[in-house]
Chains A and B, each alone.
Chain A
Amino acid sequence: MDQHPKAHAAAAAGFLADQQRADWHDETLWFVRSKRDKAAQQLPEWEALRTQASAIKEHTLSRLEQYLTGFEEKALANGVQVHWAADAAEHNRIVHSILAKHHVRKLVKSKSMLTEECHLNPYLQQQGIEVVDTDLGERIVQLNQEPPSHIVLPAIHLKKEQVGEIFHQHLGTAAGASDPQYLTAAAREHLRQKFLAADAAITGVNFAIAENGAFVVCTNEGNADLGAHLAKLHIACMGIEKLIPRMEHLGVFLRLLARSATGQPITTYSSHFREPGPGQELHIVIVDNGRSTQLGREDFRNSLKCIRCGACLNTCPVYRRSGGHSYHNAIAGPIGSILAPNLDMRKNADLPFASTLCGSCSDVCPVKIDIHTQLYKWRQVLSKEGYGPAAKKLGMKMMAAVLAKPDRFALSGAVARKFLGWFPKLAVNGKLNPWGRQRELPKVPEQSFREWYRTHYNPKKTNS
């Protein structure tokens, strides 16, 4: 595709240029997927759990409005202040207005892909507020001034030597140090000061429970807890799709989430929030930002079932070899490639094509989203709406014309085979032919099958 300045294919080629790092990226994520496989295999009821989770989400999405208003009612009754944001800009304005009212200068944030999607950090920083991401991986990419490259493992594209260099520059650790234990200790010390100095904490929401207005935040580092309990003000930002109807449904998702994400039986912390602590304020910002549009697109509404476990990224052979930044969207990988065109078709028209449609994502997804089928469907929508390159459209049209008629096909096939035979390796395998950069072309046979069938085979059997 040629709509984006750095489309996926080009960015991925850049990532692959450092082959050692690319191999390491692939192997590390494959290791995570293998851990996930082992964890899943330990539950004989795994497939039933997936079916159940998918059905709960299906049901919730079919009455989302009812559950959202139910949730709001309960949350208000619990003393929580509820806000609604139609889009990213409104979300950011709301968060800022709450912070401004409390004269917040410094805040800590725990990992939230929604705030990434809304570009909250740069917005708040422009207003003179210090925002510190407290998830270790998030903090690393934040110091390095880049977005996360993975929804669960934000700094997975960086090797420990690079992290050492980043810490050396920003936290004053010893030059050349790359021992993870040493670096983690330094980060912990640094973050502790930030936690203590913060006036407010922002967290994401993994699951919001309609029946009681509570919500759950899952982390492995306890940073959401620490932030929310130390600060006087806690703002939780959630997309409208985070709802589940009842507490009893939570167990289904908690069992699937961590296993799918990292192969752990459960996240280290699954923190429940229901009402503000003594002397504290608790706000929830409920964000649409294109989700209701996606809900209305029948072919793509299933994507709203996503619980952001990252399993589809880890399993995706394209993601593993192209790195998260090549997807130029807050959410990378297969699921990101479905969500992104909903936000901006022009900018993200390349992403549904950044897949071989191998289907591994759909099989790994704990809520059974038909990911690869949706990628296929996005391709149809985008091409029909004119977001494909003109040359490709013309080529496809010509190909369709040839393939619709047997005689044209037989003739053009013969031409193609001769062409390949005549053209020496240099011409066809040159730089301009992407096939030939690393691959040989097939050897050209003397006859096509249909020619052989006519000449060598019992011609009476020919059915034409």
Chain B
Amino acid sequence: MRVALFVPCYVDQFYPRVAIATLRLLENLGLDVSFPEKQTCCGQPMANGGYEHYTQGCNTNFIAAFSGYDHIVCPSGSCALHVKDHLHDPKQEATASAIRERVYELCEFLTDVVKVQSLPASFPAKVALHQGCHGHRGLRLAASSEQVLPFYSKPLQLLQMVEGLELVPLSRPDECCGFGGTFCVTEEAVSSAMGLSRVKDYVDHQATVLTGTDMSCLMHQEGLIRRKQLDITVMHIAELLAAPLPETV
């Protein structure tokens, strides 16, 4: 099984530790993982900004980078969803379609494809889970509170395998944090207000660590947390599932 690591552009640039944790996590499960270096960005920032018609270059590049793998795994529900929904190329639609079907968000890959039953991870802390909306409602990583369906949550299922990790309950378990791509700057006031509500929920429930499936949501909330100088550490779910990581990182 050849697995390609799809690292969101901002994770590549600002959160390499998240990509490293993802890589280590997958390799420790015995998978053959490659990082196609030709990858740049899935084109989501442009598409969500209304300029999907400028993303053909990104799409073509993405297809060139990710063709030929059995699975493409991404530590971001948002980027995975974008590829799933919008990766097209009129010149090679069959290849594009194969990639769309093979893209997975990390947690769903672990629960649905690898079918992980246990992890050698340990992370004793009170943790709040923020479910990024695109993964949550877009990829259906978990049941959403609006729907009348049996409860399930793939990220939660994995976090429960981490020794010592205690998940705190939240008042609004699946409310959007307000990041929303360019929304976070074009609608700064609403975006920050939304993020602050989320953060208050973690504080109210005495979480010391905030985790989630999307580093973009976490980056926004981490920005608010650090400005307020709150005692909450922000970590991507891959970092918890791979914990403790070797020091060399």
Binding site for B on A (CB under 8 A): 8-9, 12-13, 16, 22, 26, 30, 37, 40-41, 43-44, 46-47, 315, 317-318, 321-322, 352-360, 362-364, 376, 379-380, 382-384, 388, 392-393, 396-397, 399-406, 409, 413, 416-417, 434-435, 437-442, 444-445, 447-454, 456, 461-464
A396 and B51 within 8 A (CB): yes
A449 and B16 within 8 A (CB): yes
Say yes or no: is B219 at the interface (Cβ < 8 Å to chain A). Answer: yes
Q: Which residues on A sit within 8 Å (CB–CB) of B53?
A: 380, 383-384
Say yes or no: is B220 at the interface (Cβ < 8 Å to chain A). Answer: yes
Say yes or no: is B123 at the interface (Cβ < 8 Å to chain A). Answer: no
Q: Which residues on B sit within 8 Å (CB–CB) of A26?
A: 197
The verdict on A357 contacting B48 (CB below 8 Å), with A317-B176, A363-B147, A449-B7 known, is yes
The verdict on A12 contacting B16 (CB below 8 Å), with A358-B133, A360-B176, A404-B40 known, is no
Q: Which residues on A sit within 8 Å (CB–CB) of B20?
A: 449, 452
A356 and B178 within 8 A (CB): yes
Q: Which residues on B sit within 8 Å (CB–CB) of A44?
A: 148
Q: Which residues on A sit within 8 Å (CB–CB) of B226?
A: 439-440
Contact mask B61-88 → A, CB, 8 Å, 1/0? 1000100000000000000000000000
Say yes or no: is B116 at the interface (Cβ < 8 Å to chain A). Answer: no
Minimum CB distance partner of A315 in chain B: B146
Contact mask B168-191 → A, CB, 8 Å, 1/0? 000010111011110111111111
Chain B residues numbered 209-224 whose CB sits less than 8 Å from any CB in chain A: 219-220, 222-224
Q: Which of B48, B57, B134, B145 meets A404, CB within 8 Å?
A: B57
CB distance from A184 to the nearest CB of B (A): 31
CB distance from A392 to the nearest CB of B (A): 7
B187 and A37 within 8 A (CB): no
Q: Which residues on A sit within 8 Å (CB–CB) of B248?
A: 456
B224 and A438 within 8 A (CB): yes
A354 and B187 within 8 A (CB): yes
CB distance from A461 to the nearest CB of B (A): 6
CB distance from B224 to the nearest CB of A (A): 5
Q: Could you tell me the distance between the alpha carbons of A452 and B18 in the complex, rounded to whole angstroms?
A: 12
The verdict on A359 contacting B17 (CB below 8 Å), with A315-B146, A449-B11 known, is no
Q: Which residues on A sit within 8 Å (CB–CB) of B192?
A: 437-439
Q: Could you tell me the distance between the alpha carbons of A434 and B47 in the complex, rounded to whole angstroms?
A: 21
Minimum CB distance partner of B57 in chain A: A404
Say yes or no: is B60 at the interface (Cβ < 8 Å to chain A). Answer: yes
Q: Would you mind naming 22 contact pairs between A and B with Cβ atoms under 8 Å apart?
A: A9-B186, A41-B148, A47-B148, A47-B149, A355-B180, A356-B179, A356-B180, A356-B183, A358-B180, A360-B146, A380-B53, A397-B54, A400-B54, A400-B58, A406-B65, A416-B13, A438-B227, A439-B223, A445-B17, A449-B7, A449-B11, A450-B35
B9 and A409 within 8 A (CB): yes
The verdict on A442 contacting B40 (CB below 8 Å), with A8-B187, A396-B46 known, is no
A440 and B146 within 8 A (CB): no
Q: Could you tell me the distance between the alpha carbons of A383 and B53 in the complex, rounded to whole angstroms?
A: 9
Q: Could you tell me the distance between the alpha carbons of A88 and B51 in the complex, rounded to whole angstroms?
A: 33
A435 and B222 within 8 A (CB): no
Q: Which of B36, B43, B134 meets A403, CB within 8 Å?
A: B43
CB distance from A379 to the nearest CB of B (A): 4
Say yes or no: is B30 at the interface (Cβ < 8 Å to chain A). Answer: no
CB distance from A359 to the nearest CB of B (A): 4
Minimum CB distance partner of A446 in chain B: B16
Contact mask B16-60 → A, CB, 8 Å, 1/0? 110110000000000000111111110101111111111101101
Q: Which residues on A sit within 8 Å (CB–CB) of B14?
A: 417, 442, 444-445
Q: Which residues on B sit within 8 Å (CB–CB) of A441?
A: 223
Q: Which residues on A sit within 8 Å (CB–CB) of B125?
A: none
Minimum CB distance partner of B185 in chain A: A434
Q: Which of B16, B37, B45, B60 meets A463, CB within 8 Å?
A: B37
User: Among the interface residues A12, A357, A406, which one has the most CB atoms of the partner chain B within 10 A?
Assistant: A357
The verdict on A22 contacting B193 (CB below 8 Å), with A317-B176, A384-B53, A403-B9 known, is yes
The verdict on A318 contacting B187 (CB below 8 Å), with A37-B145, A462-B35, A463-B36 known, is yes
Q: Which residues on B sit within 8 Å (CB–CB) of A417?
A: 13-14
Q: Could you tell me the distance between the alpha carbons of A450 and B40 in the complex, rounded to whole angstroms?
A: 10
Q: Could you tell me the distance between the alpha carbons of A322 and B183 in the complex, rounded to whole angstroms?
A: 14
List the 3 shortest-distance A-B pairs measured between CB atoms, nearest first. Answer: A404-B57, A439-B223, A356-B180
B51 and A360 within 8 A (CB): no
Q: Could you tell me the distance between the alpha carbons of A144 and B51 in the complex, rounded to whole angstroms?
A: 41
Minimum CB distance partner of A383 in chain B: B50
CB distance from B83 to the nearest CB of A (A): 14
A405 and B40 within 8 A (CB): yes
Q: Which residues on B sit within 8 Å (CB–CB) of A37?
A: 145-146
Q: Which of B54, B181, B194 meets A321, CB within 8 Å?
A: B194
The verdict on A413 contacting B189 (CB below 8 Å), with A359-B138, A384-B53, A440-B223 known, is no
